[in-house]
Amino acid sequence: MKMFQINNMTKDELLLQRRNLMVEWFNLRMQCVLKPLDNPKRIGVIRKDIARINTILHEFELGIRKVMTAEES
């Protein structure tokens, strides 16, 4: 996921996306234990996406970033 895609998401979308990525990351870690992964780099990509989303969510908490309403998006 690119940063411009994350920047255009609302806070609720970010929370939902982070939840989905955390579930996918957990599932990939479990698969890695059982058998070799087809694409082991996917784990790193997911971790970076989660970190990017956490950064944006932290900016919302600090007030650096304004919470967008449905009318503005």
Return the CATH number of the domain spanning residue range 3-62.
Answer: 1.10.287.310
Which of 4, 11, 2 shows the shortest CA–CA distance to 63? 11
Report the C-alpha gap between 51 and 31 in whole angstroms: 22
- Residue 73: the pLDDT is 53
With tokens 């449905």, the residue in question is: 70
pLDDT tens-digit readout, 25-72 = 999 999 999 999 999 999 999 999 999 999 999 999 998 887 765 556
- Residue 18: the pLDDT is 97
Where are the chain's structural domains?
A: 3-62
Report the C-alpha gap between 61 and 73 in whole angstroms: 19
